[in-house]
Amino acid sequence: MSENSLGLQTRPAPPPARPSRVSRALARNRLGVSAVVFFIVSAAAPLTVIGSGAVVTFAQTKTIGIPVAYAAIAVVLGVFAVGYVAMSRHITNAGAFYTYVAQGLGRVFGVGASFVAIVAYNAMQIGLYGGFGGILATHLKTWFGWNVQWWVLGLGGWLIVAILGVLRIDFNSRVLAVLLTAECLIMLVFDATELTHPANGTVSFAALSPSHLFAAGGGALLVTAVTGFVGFEGGAVYAEETRDPKRTVAQATYIAVAFVGVLYAVSSWALTVFTGPGNIVDAATTQSTDLIFNINSGFLGAWIVDIGRILIVTSLFAALVSFHNTVARYLFALGREHVLPSGLGATSRRTGAPYVGSLVQTAVALVVLILFAAFKLDPLGDLFFVVTTYGGLGVLILMAVTSVSVIGYFAARKIAGENVWHRAVAPAIAALLLVVVLWLTLNQYSTLLGLPSDHPAVWMLPASFAVAGVVGILWGLFLRSKRPKVYAAIGLGANSVIGRASQEPLAITAGPSSGTNVLPAQVTSPGLGASPVRHEIFLVGGDHPVGPVSTVLSEAFITGDIADWLVPNVADRRRIYPQYWAMAVEHALSGAGEVYAGGELAGTALWYPAVYGPPNSEPRDFAQRLRAICGPYTDRFFALHQAMDAAHPTMPHHYLAFVAVLPPEQNRGIGSALVQHRLRELDAAAVPAYLEATNRRNLALYVHLGFQPTGNPIVLPDDGPKLYPMWRPASVHRGL
């Protein structure tokens, strides 16, 4: 039963709203699968990983097993991605890890995870400036004899990244596409050269033997390998800006993991083929990061090798851009939900970029660069290697926690379409494997940093993530106690910012007796729209208090033909309704349905999936609880539910059971935004919808949203009012 506007009357159109210079939604429909893949792979910086990371690992570990370690970690992360992308199909949010932990383990832990994420991704991004400036300074001195300080070059890169950060995200993706394509092409050329010139004329597969993972130093191999994949999880960060979040993130994540895993394993294995498995350690030790270029210069010529050296720098620059965008979107998500200052949640009207978050990350990077330059610290050893390794540890912690969160999320909800492998088995395996890798990382952290085991940084750096997490948890507890409205919106997904403005009709308004105000948008009803009003819509989490949501329903439905028929005595009605609606909301929040809210909980909509049978819209003990709540009016409530059940369609669909807006907040388009948001998602999934309108005047309103009357009206007994079943075929209004 979808109660709608009653007592309609006309009114003049409201004055046009003054356009704002900022928005609280990221730009929609900017990125496809390939664009997200470019962001993910660019963050991994593949040429830098092989040219520096793999070679140094050969030298430091004295083993040849890094190729198989890359392959093994790709498998681990592929298993992690199963649960990760399954959750991304149901939650769309630029906060990614923060949102997933909040939805799976609770809001307090979500805030703790967000603090860890901000520290970790800032460390990854800022540390890259050391490699960018340091390596570029070396090349300029070698090629031209210029003695340019690394921090000058770092600031040059910083300025370009700052400019790109406030431009359109699709422009950023095109820049990364060019840089990454050139980078991967040169890697493939190097690989082909090395594999076609094997040592002693024999291609050896010794480096790909799994036995290396179980030999001495196997843990160090896995630890090093996982740092090369940091950034692959970033697809979810861009979900709000993709054309189809539920598919794009999944496809891009799987493609990126597979591509990077194969590229790393093949490229590092090719080095062992060229030198011979028995010689790679000595070659890496003596030639260090010049190895890959020295090998290929004799066959390809100095000019193409110099191009490779340039592409190492552009590889780092591409990673800088990618991680900068990641940090900016985390800050945006936290600002939008008021966990951090709300100004961070602003986006540019012109470009759709989270420009405030971008500028904040830019400022933080500038401060760190100035400090490293002032104290004359080593850009490669101290900034690039130590700081990025530190950031990678934080991301590893987040991945392990997120795997557990996936299990918690699906365990608390009955969500159709995700099998047990997606919901539980794969996330559990991933959590176990990631915890093992995390333990190995912490156990061998001094080796990873190249520092003595008693060096303070060996324990201080990992401990800082514990501090960040605890501070975040304490802040979450504060929000729960002192700012309940902010707390209620924590981690509610991209559903918390519906980017399209709802519109109010010119000549329709609801009278004081209306239950809800569901009004058609101008985009679907030409000529009826007035001023655009933007409303944030969010999916209410299962741990949300029942009271604030049930109050909306109780207050909105307290008057009207249905209410008068159910409980004629107004005093009895005011006693019964709060309990009745609390029962309905509690059942929906238990996982049986989906509860959406908008206008800062001024409006709410309850949907039930009915894809594999009738909707589970009543709790198991419904009859017993209904008698206890309704007393002498129980028969009327039973009659209403039985009549609606008898008319309910059997075809797969989603059922809009209730939509309501508090009377003082009606006529603002909140109800319209609530309904249109879910309909857009159903259209994308090609799923029909069904509802019952409460009077004939509401039929026109729902027709504007694509619904049509179906079957005969539902006639309630004892001269009761009629309800009108309405069906909406899949994808009838792509313009919603």
25 confidence band (pLDDT: 50, 70, 90): low
The strand pair at 537-539 and 594-598 is best described as: antiparallel
Residue 186: name the closest of 384, 51, 54 by CA.
51
Q: What is the CATH number of the domain that holds 712?
A: 3.40.630.30
Whether residue 699 is found in the same domain as residue 625: yes
Report the distance separating Cα 645 and Cα 627, nearest Å: 19
Cα angle 687, 530, 705 (rounded to 5 degrees) comes to 15
Phi, psi of 484 (to 5 degrees): -60, -30
Confidence bin at 492 (pLDDT 50/70/90): low
What are the tens digits of pLDDT across the range 357-393? Answer: 999 999 999 999 999 999 999 998 899 988 998 999 9
Q: Is residue 225 part of a domain?
A: yes
Q: Torsion angle, CA of 170/492/340/470, rounded to 10 degrees?
A: -120
Other beta carbons within 10 Å of 582: 18
511 with 423, same domain: the answer is no
Residue 254 lies in a domain: yes
Q: Mean of the pLDDT values across residues 102-129? A: 95
Of 12-21, 240-249, 637-646, 701-710, the one with minimum mean pLDDT is 12-21
Residue 262 and residue 115 share a domain: yes
Whole-number pLDDT of residue 493: 47
In a domain, 352, yes or no: no
- For residues 293-313, give the mean pLDDT: 88
- pLDDT, position 292: 92
User: Domain end: 439, 456, 482, which one?
Assistant: 482
Question: Domain check: are 468 and 538 in the same one?
Answer: no
Global pTM reads 0.67
- Statement: residue 477 has pLDDT above 60: yes
Pick the range with the lowest mean pLDDT from 160-169, 364-373, 394-403, 439-448.
439-448
Residues 446-469: what's their mean pLDDT? 90
pLDDT of residue 369: 97
Mean of per-residue pLDDT scores for the chain: 84
| Last residue of one domain, picked from the residues 451, 482, 513 | 482
Summarised one tens digit per residue, pLDDT across range 157-175 is: 999 999 999 998 878 888 8
Mean local confidence (pLDDT), 604-626? 86
The mean pLDDT of 436-441, rounded to a whole number, is 90
Are the C-beta atoms of 123 and 394 separated by less than 8 Å? Answer: yes
Placement of tokens 């039929």 in the chain: 699
Q: Is residue 273 part of a domain?
A: yes
Question: Would residue 348 count as lying in a domain?
Answer: no
The domain that holds 175 is classified in CATH as 1.20.1740.10
User: Strand pairing of 347-348 and 22-23?
Assistant: antiparallel
Task: Examine residue 12 and state whether it is found in any structural domain, yes or no.
Answer: no
**CA–CA gap between residue 693 and residue 4 (Å, rounded):** 7
Band the pLDDT of 265: cuts 50, 70, 90: very high
For residues 422 and 514, membership in a common domain is answered with no
pLDDT of residue 16: 36
Residue 155: predicted pLDDT: 97
Average pLDDT over residues 583-607: 87
- At which of 453, 482, 511 does a domain end? 482
Residues 468 and 403 grouped into a single domain: yes
What pLDDT score was predicted for residue 494?
Answer: 43
For the stretch 32-61, pLDDT in tens is 888 888 888 888 889 999 988 898 889 878
Residues 137, 173: one domain? yes
Indicate the residue type of 292: I
- DSSP H or E segment with residue 604: strand 603-610
pLDDT value of residue 527:
26
Could you please report the per-residue DSSP string of 141-169?
HHHH-----HHHHHHHHHHHHHHHHTS-H
- Is the residue at 735 inside a domain? no
Full domain range(s) for residue 674: 498-546+582-728
pLDDT at 514 over 80: no
Is residue 539 domain-shared with residue 395, that is, in the same domain? Answer: no
pLDDT of residue 517: 34
Q: What is the pLDDT of residue 337?
A: 86
Same domain membership, residue 661 and residue 700: yes
What is the number of domains present in the chain? 2
Identify the pLDDT of residue 416: 66
In a domain, 297, yes or no: yes
Phi, psi at 311, each rounded to 5°:
-70, -20
Looking at the fold, whether 503 and 468 belong to one and the same domain comes out as no
172-178-182-184 Cα dihedral, nearest 10 degrees = 60
Q: What are phi and psi of 2, to 5 degrees?
A: -105, 95
Residues 202 and 128 grouped into a single domain: yes
Distance, CA of 500 to CA of 444 (rounded, Å): 50
The pLDDT of residue 59: 87
Same domain, 94 and 139: yes
- Asked if residues 321 and 309 have their Cβ atoms less than 8 Å apart, the reply is no
